Each structure stands twice: as C-alpha cells, then as structure tokens.
Chains A and B, each alone.
Chain A
Amino acid sequence: MEPRALGPPGLLALGVLGSLLALGAQAQLAAAGPEPALWPLPRAVQMSPRLLQLAPANFSIGHGPNSTAGPSCSLLQEAFRRYNEYIFGSYKMHQDLAKFQVGTQLQQLLVTIILESECNSFPSMSSDESYTLTVREPVASLKANKVWGALRGLETFSQLIYQDSYGTFTINEANIIDSPRFPHRGILIDTSRHYLPVKNILKTLDAMAFNKFNVLHWHIVDDQSFPYQSITFPELSNKGSYTLSHVYTPNDVSKVIEYARLRGIRVIPEFDTPGHTQSWGKGQKDLLTPCYKGQKQADSVGPINPMLNTTYTFLTMFFKEISKVFPDQLIHLGGDEVEFDCWASNPNIQNFMKKKGFGQDFTKLESFYVQKLLDIIASMNKGSIVWQEVFDNNNELQPGTIIQVWKLERYASELSQVTASGFPAILSAPWYLDLISYGEDWRKYYLVEPLNFQGSDKQKKLVLGGEACLWGEYVDATNLTPRLWPRASAVGERLWSDKTVRDLLGAYDRLSRHRCRMLRRGISAQPLFVGFCD
C-alpha cells in the first residue's frame, strides 16, 4: 500500500530518515516526558536542571517596578492575559492541584521595559525585539528595551513551561538572551485569488506571533479581485471584488492592523502595479491600457496606462489614502510580471514611446511609470518595496528602495547583484509555500541560508530578512492554516535564530512539539510526520 518501498532513491532515503526520526521522537516522548520545545531557538539558552512549579491560581504576569510601561500599557496588559491563557488555557480545572504541591514554586513573571516603551506606537523595521529572560525562584524576570522585545520574550517564556507526567506545570530555571537575526520576518497572504475572511487573517497573526514573525505582507488585490474597500474610490471594490460581501471595509482593515500591532506585527499592504491590475479596471475607467488587435481596439485591457496624466492623478489620490490607512513606513508597490504585449499593440502608447525616445524598449516605459510612482510614494514620506523585476529591468530607483527577490533560478546571484547595487533585499524565492509537494518539504525551507551568496559584509548587511509566501491560486479559508503551518515555522526559525542553528534532527523534534502546541492554541497546523499530540 503506501509506497514505502517505491519512488526514486532520494525519496526512499527521505522516507527511511523520516521513520528513524519519528521513532526517535516517539522514544523520547515516551521516556523523558514532555520538555520545553523552543521555536524559534533563542540566541543563548542556559537551562538549569532545577525545576520550579507553577500553580495556575498562584501565578501572575505583571509589570516590574522599574518598568517604563505600566498598567496603562494595554499592549502589554493584553499580552499578559493572552499568555496566561496560552500557558494554562484548557487546564483551569487543575487549579486545585496548587494546594497539594510541595516543590519550589514560580509565583510571578515580572516584565520590565527599560527604555521608552513604544507602547502606543506601531512596530517598524528598526524596532528593538531583543530581550533577556531569567527564570529563578520565586520570581522570573523578563527585560526588554521596548515592548516588542517583551512580546517575543513572553512567547519564549510560555514555550518554557510544560506539564510533567502528573499534569503539574513545570519550568526549568533558565537564562535566555535573545534577539532576531533579521529584522524583517514576513508571511505573505494573497486575498485576491481567494478572499480570506478577517477571522482567518487574525488567526494567521496569532500563529505568526507564536513563530516570532513580525511582518504581514498583505497582497490585498490582484487581477482576480479587488477586495480593498477604498474610501476615495469606492467603485474599485464595488465593481472589482468577487461579491460585495467579499470586501475588506475600513473597519476590517483597521482591525487587522491593530490586532497585528498588539502582537508586534507590521502590516505592509501591497498594491501591485502596473501589471496584475485587471480588477482595478472595472471600477476605475481608463486606468488600464486598451489592447489592440491590428488597427482595432480589442475587448481586453492590459497593465495600467502609463502615458495618461489621469493615471498619476488617480495614483496620487489613491496612495494618499493608502499611506494614511496603513501606518507602516513601507508600502509594497509590486512591479512584477509586467506584460508588454498590450502596450506594444496600442498605437497611442507607440506614439508616446516615440515621443519620449524609448524606441521599442518597453522596460523604459515601465521604468518611466515606476519612477513616477516611486516619486509619489516618496512625497508621502513612505518607503517602497518592489518585486525584483523592477530592479532587473534597470529602472532607476530611489536609494533605499527594498527589492524582494522571488524568482527561484539563481536567487543567490540576484541577492548578490541587488546588494552590490546598494539596495536592501528581502528573500522569498526559496519560500513559496503555495508550491506544495509530497512529504517533508519544511526541511528544504529550513536549510536555506539567506546570506549564502557572493558579496561583502556590507552587502550581507543589506539583506533585511525574508518572507514565506502563500499565494492564493489554490488556497482559501478551507486549507490556509494547515498549508501554512508548520511549514512556515521552518522559515520563522531560519529568520530569527542564529545561522548555526541548522540541525535537522533537533529541529524535527522541537518543531513536532511546537506544532502540537500550536494545535492546542487553536491553530490547525498539519502534522510533520507519523505520530500524535498528547
């Protein structure tokens, strides 16, 4: 039946390896009982064999006396409540156990913010996410410069606690010093190919926090549908969404942004132009280029029409709204896969090309468009992210424009070229999670080394991080969560943990247990391999 003995040798080897690992994991579970499974692995962990017990009724998370944040910091207050729930959650019935416990107890976790807390701010690329965690009897201490580090530390603290075989909540005395390797650790969701209900987006943000991701890259519109409800141009979604119930209202959007902020996650919206814009055309007349068949105008339209002033008037007004609605410093402008056929077919565009002296080089026309757009965005004091084609097509770009590398072929050399030109880069090419295959593909995501390209130290510093992308052609609310988790977790650790953390055996063991923890917290993460969760 199941092709244990089938398939190419590579697959066979993987299968055998998988079985060994599974046996190992089981044996360990059976013999040693649950242990803390830290994911992603912190920078420095010192665990003492000394065990402390936590009694749900007699344990609390609170503000340290010297913290710059206090009970007025609702971001932390909410986080304390949330983590109390994650730690003890479904085990409330065991509260009485506390009375009978005799061992040494951990009574409190005190959270101290050292510098200005940023409690009411939005996280940014430069947000400090470092923290130190000291678990000692009777009070544990979590110290962070900013609330962002405190959020990461709370997650780690919650991962340290486990239930022993008698059900007692247990934690080892420990010292942890932690900070992320890359500042940009993102998940891309695509709400155009399929609409995702807001509750699924919020669930995704929860899971992201469990994996210390800090950027939701919201590919909100594309050819297929325009679910973003614009205040300035309501016709865009009135005409461009799948149905009127498949839209994100301003209220939905602000809910997502605030939910993300409370978890230290930035929301970067992508409004991809000039290609991938078919759905814009329905609600915004004359925005898209009419395509021609011979001398006649055809029924179809192409990319945004780059030669009309009205286009830039529209874009200015539209992105003015976007830059207000989305507080993040960055906007993703897309710029990928611009098809030149339609532009080439249109006589007006041809004339315009001639007038501008572009010849037959449509990349120059694209560049013309992109530069005007980048200027618009810069005038709003926002920074831009673009897909790699914008760089590849030799557009002149403002310094500081971030290039997202997505093409799998030769992505290392692409990183090398982008950074050699002095541009910051984000890596996605090896992490297209929508491209599924049979078996344990998380391993290959895990083994990617983002800085494994030719370049100086200065170039390597320009790599800001990466994103796992879950494009929506074959994904909607029915399969989003199990397809994303725990596969994206592999990327989460790669972007957070030290570059030397690459041991697959250890990772399998920790990730299996991390997956079960996500499951307990309400995320339907799929299994890594054969086995079960307690």
Chain B
Amino acid sequence: MAGGALGLRLLLLAALCGVAAALWPWPRSVQGSPRRYCLGPAAFAFRHHAGSAAQPGCDVLDAAFARYRRLLFGAGPWPPPSLSGQHHESKDMLVVTVATAECNEFPTLESLENYTLTIDDDQCLLTADTIWGALRGLETFSQLVWTSAEGTFFINKTTIEDFPRFPHRGLLLDTSRHYLPLSSILDTLDVMAYNKLNVFHWHLVDDPSFPYDSITFPELARKGSYNPVTHIYTAQDVKEIIEYARLRGIRVLAEFDTPGHTLSWGPGIPGLLTPCYSGSRPSGDFGPVNPILNSTYEFMSLFFLEISSVFPDFYLHLGGDEVDFTCWKSNPDIQAFMKKRGFDDFRQLESFYIQMLLDIISAYNKGYVVWQEVFDNKVKVRPDTIVQVWREEKPVTYMQEVELVTKAGFRALLSAPWYLNRITYGPDWKAMYNVEPLDFEGSPEQKALVIGGEACMWGEWVDSTNLVPRLWPRGGAVAERLWSSNLTTDLDFAYKRLSHFRCELLRFISLLPVVISTTL
C-alpha cells in the first residue's frame, strides 16, 4: 500500500532528526527540525493562554504543570547555561490552551484527547479541545525535551498533531490473587500516563481474596481478604486511586466478576454462593453465585448501588467469565429450579442470572463491560454492552471473535494477545506490538465498533515484587498499538524508541520513590 510506504519513509525521516528517538507512543504527525531552543529550568513555566477555557485553579492542569516541571527539571540545582558554542534562542514557557474545561469532571470513553503542539520561533504552544488532550500533549512535550552533555535543556523546533486511534486504551491489574499496595497502583497510574493509556481496569476481587472494603457489606473484606487490616482497599484508598487517575486523564473501570470467580465473597455473605453436592449431600464446597434465590438479587442490588456511587465511571465491568457448571449441576435445588423454568442448558441459567444483574446495573444508569463468554453463551444483553475478547483460540481465534462480536453489533475490546502476565524468554513485546486489532473480515461499521483494547496483568504469579519490571516496557508495546496510527509498525524504529523510553521511565520511576516494595 502506497500510504504505508510513505508513512514509513516519513517515520524514518523523523527518526533521523534525533527528536523522534524520544517519542512513545508515536504521534500522528511529527515535523521536526534541527533548529533548537534552550529551556531555562529556573525560569521555565507552564501557563494558561489568556483565551483558554481553563485558567489557574483548573486542578487537573495545575497539578499536571507541577508534575511535568518536576519530571522535566527535577528540583535543581541546575548548571548555569552553557556559554560556549552557538547561542540558542531560549523558551521560558509553554502556553496551554483548551477549548472546553472539564476541570472538575472525570474523563469518559467519549473524551477527546487530540492536541497540537507547536514549538517554533514565534510560539511554544499546546492546543487541545479538552484538558485530557492537554495532558497527552504535556506528556509529548516532556518527551521532546532533551539534555545536552553539559546539562542544558533543549527542545527542537517541532510541530506535532496528535490524536489516539482508539478511545479505550487500558491496563488490567489483579488485586485478588495477590494484594498490591496502594503505592504500586499509584506508580502504575503514573507510568500509564507516560504511555498515554487511559483506562485502569481494576480487577478488584476474585476467588482468592476480597480486598475491597465495602461500606454496605464490611463482612466481605473482613472475612474474604487475606488480612482485614493490611490487605484491603478502604473507601479512602479507592477515592485516592480514582482521583490520582483522574488527574492523569485515566478512567477507573472497576470489575466485580460474577457469578463465577466469587469464592472469596462466600465467607462474608452466607447463602450467596451455591452449595455443591456430593451425591445427595452438600459437600461443604461452594460454586458460583446462587442464581435461584431472591436474596442473591437483593444483595446484588445493594452491593452494586454502592459500587455505582463509589466508582464514577459510566461503565462497570461485570466479569461473567469461566462459569463452572459442575457445582450447579450437583445441586438438587438448582435442578428443580431449572425444571420449573424449563431450562435444559446451564447456559440458560447463567443467562438468567446475568440478565437479572444487567437489569440491576441498568437501573443505576451504568453501562457495562463483560468478558466474551457472556456473548459466547448467548446471554441477552443490552445493545450498548461492551464485550472484552480474551480467549486466544477457543471457541474461535480472537480475531474471529472480534468479527462475531462486532457483527452482532456490540462494541469490542481486545485483550487476547496482550496478557502481560504470560512471560517467555526474549523480546516478546514484538509479538504484542505486531498485533493489528482491526485485522478481521468486517464492514467499516464493524471496525468502528472496536473501541480499543487492554493489556492484562493477571496476578497468579505477580505481586509488588515483580509487577513493575513485568509491566514495563512490555505494556508500552500495547500502548503504542492502541494510540498510534496503524501504519506505525516498523519494529526497528519501535525498538530504538522503546529502549530510549525505557531509560526515561527508569529515571522517572527512580524520581518517584517506590519501585519495588519489600514490605507487604
């Protein structure tokens, strides 16, 4: 394709200008130049344009200005400007202007993130439709600044126009298999922002532990967490995470996975889980949420009422994956219920449960994301449901699954090729980078239904000791795939930039105190 070849040539051209080496993810359009300006760290400031919709007091931008000043220049002291050699014009401010200021709001799936960055003789200007776009532009600006051997800060004459390819660019963390300290989560949010990822998918609870400290049902964490004092997320912790994410333009998508993956819910809510039977007697084990009791739905109504108000994002993730039918099958009450309802397939029972749950969530004016099994098992869902594709091969390949989901008119999120917890020897980021999310047979309308993807870091073998080096820079490969143009695919070019970016991350992360926590 001609466009592809041209795109590649432009990329390589930009690479030669040196500027490019530092950019990750690669913007839509970059015009670099060897002309450079120096930045005086003591004097340099970020300023709101007089005509900007955001002015001082816009906390998202004010906090970002402070953050990026620190990331760019540290706390000083700085060497005096080098007097030797040629004189460079200096820039002492970046002016930021936005068209609308949603300073006290939360980013959404619909938030615009486009921006334009112009660094030339006349101006040093960042323009964006929204503060969220301004955040992305500030990150790019910070990646353009470089330091000479003498310690002088420079930025080259550059024009960048940029916008994301997909609106949903997520990272999943699992805090149930292993508890992750608050600091690990906050650090991850920082690095997500450096990668322009914008959704933190928080898989809060699962079979092994229930660390979410519910206000309505405190017994859930008291009985279901690893340690009800040290291994929980209090209401305050959750608030802090949501606000920290908001300030970085990141949505928090909370997942409370049911009806399977719920063993840890059981101790706190007696009667919630299905008692499994061994022959004619209860075996003492429990299975998925019990779908035949009214009390189940009363609990879910109350529980999700809390969740809907604690998590401001329009979407909740309701899980719905890997429901194991053996326990339901073993239980005579369930069998009787099935007969009464005329169900001959346990998928109908699952469907029954999920529809009840979806009705509850809809009543709270929330949208929802579900794992692909809900779609595969033909559960009737609302047309605006988002289906997350995670299975690589079965029942069909993940690209075929995306095709089917979008053909049915549902929006899709891709995760199958991006399970970061799975490790192999060598540079496995390349395979993740090479994935093309729209590489399936389908109409333009279908392709438009792919709203993005998520890198997933499941926690079976991951806790705060190994999270950071397993996430980064591998997660960066997914981030660029979801942000940059589909023509940005050159592996050598990516390798150069990603290596550079990794070293930048090391600097950032060591600037921030915690890399790896040794006390749990």
Contact = CB atoms under 8 A, between A and B. Distances in A.
Interface string B168-180: 0000001001110
B469 interface: yes
Interface-centre pick from B177, B203, B427 (highest chain A CB count, 10 A): B177
Given A1-B371, A436-B425, A479-B466, A534 B227 contact: yes
A526 interface: yes
A18 B208 CA distance: 13
B518 interface: yes
Given A437-B425, A530-B178, A478 B465 contact: no
A75 B194 CA distance: 48
B421 interface: yes
A524 B466 contact: yes
10 contacts: A2-B174, A6-B393, A436-B424, A438-B423, A481-B516, A519-B518, A519-B520, A526-B463, A527-B466, A530-B178
Interface in B262-287: none
A145 to B, nearest CB: 35
Nearest to A527: B463
Given A479-B470, A526-B462, A532-B226, 15 more contacts: A1-B456, A2-B460, A3-B392, A6-B392, A6-B394, A434-B425, A435-B425, A436-B424, A438-B461, A474-B427, A478-B506, A519-B465, A530-B460, A532-B231, A533-B520
Contacts of A357: none
Given A524-B466, A532-B209, A437 B456 contact: no
Interface in A483-534: 483, 519-520, 522-534
Contact of B203 (A1, A434, A534): A1
A482 interface: yes
Interface-centre pick from A6, A438, A524 (highest chain B CB count, 10 A): A524
A298 interface: no
Contacts of B427: 474
B213 interface: no
B430 to A, nearest CB: 13
A234 interface: no
Report, as a range, how many residues of chain A touch the other chain.
Answer: 35 or more
A18 B207 CA distance: 14
Nearest to B371: A1
* Top 6 A-B pairs, shortest CB-CB distance: A479-B469, A482-B466, A532-B226, A524-B465, A526-B466, A2-B458
B469 A529 contact: no
Interface residues of B, number: 47
A5 interface: yes
Nearest to A524: B465
A530 B206 CA distance: 11
Contact of A525 (B261, B390, B426, B465): B465
Contacts of A355: none
Contact of B257 (A1, A439, A524, A527): A1
Contacts of A482: 465-466, 469, 516
Contact of B178 (A3, A439, A522, A527): A527
Contact of B425 (A2, A474, A522): A474
Nearest to B257: A1
A99 interface: no
A5 B425 contact: no
Classify the interface of chain B: helix, strand, loop or mixed. Answer: loop
Contact of A523 (B178, B208, B423, B518): B518
Interface in A406-464: 434-440
Contacts of A526: 461-463, 465-466
Contacts of B321: 1
A285 interface: no
B459 interface: yes
Nearest to A90: B519
A197 B178 CA distance: 29
B171 to A, nearest CB: 14
Given A1-B371, A436-B423, A474-B425, A530 B177 contact: yes
B322 interface: yes
A485 to B, nearest CB: 9
Interface in B367-391: 371, 390-391
A529 B423 contact: no
Interface of A: 1-6, 18, 22, 434-440, 474, 478-479, 481-483, 519-520, 522-534
B422 interface: yes
A474 B423 CA distance: 12
Interface-centre pick from B227, B426, B463 (highest chain A CB count, 10 A): B463
Contacts of B460: 2, 18, 529-530
Interface in B211-267: 226-227, 231, 257, 261
A238 B390 CA distance: 50
B131 to A, nearest CB: 33
Given A1-B257, A1-B371, A438-B423, A530 B520 contact: no
B305 interface: no
A33 to B, nearest CB: 14
B468 interface: yes
Contact of A437 (B257, B261, B424): B424
Contacts of A530: 177-178, 208, 459-460
Nearest to B505: A478
A88 to B, nearest CB: 16
B437 interface: no
B319 interface: yes
A390 B54 CA distance: 71
Contacts of A483: 466
A20 to B, nearest CB: 13
A51 to B, nearest CB: 25
Contacts of B208: 22, 530-531
Nearest to B460: A530
Interface-centre pick from A434, A440, A527 (highest chain B CB count, 10 A): A527
Contact of A474 (B226, B393, B426): B426
Contacts of B174: 2
Contacts of A438: 421-424, 461
A113 B424 CA distance: 47
Contacts of B231: 532
Interface in B142-167: none
Interface string B302-321: 00000000000000000101
B470 to A, nearest CB: 8
B227 A532 contact: yes
Contacts of A434: 425
Contact of B322 (A4, A440, A474, A531): A4
Contacts of B426: 474
